[in-house]
């Protein structure tokens, strides 16, 4: 997956559902299969997030 074909962009907002909990306690959401870690996210929550950081295989978002 190149930077061009990642389904999310840094600075943009998305509606997501937290569907898992990471090893460090962060919520995990997916957009088109792409992993987004959301600190403070709880499994089952439907929330709006803003992408703060993009990495090659995942992103980090924050609740807005």
Enumerate the domain spans of the chain. 13-63
Fold of 13-63: OB fold (Dihydrolipoamide Acetyltransferase, E2P) (2.40.50)
Tens of pLDDT along 6-64? 999 999 999 999 999 999 999 999 999 999 999 999 999 999 999 999 999 999 999 99
Which CA distances in Å does 12 have to 23, 51, 53, 56? Answer: 25, 6, 11, 17
Q: Which tokens is 45 given?
A: 């929550």
Task: Please tell me the distance from the alpha carbon of residue 64 to that of residue 48, in angstroms, as a whole number.
Answer: 6
pLDDT band at 2 (very low <50, low <70, confident <90, very high): low
Indicate the burial class of 27 (C-beta count within 10 angstroms; 0-12, 13-18, 19 or more): buried
């Amino acid at each position: 997956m190149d930077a061009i074909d990642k389904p999310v962009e840094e600075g943009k907002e998305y509606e997501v559902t937290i569907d898992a909990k990471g090893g460090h306690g962060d919520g995990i959401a997916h957009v088109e299969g792409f992993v987004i870690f959301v600190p403070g996210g709880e499994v089952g929550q439907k929330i709006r997030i803003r992408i703060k950081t993009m990495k090659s295989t995942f992103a980090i978002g924050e609740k807005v």
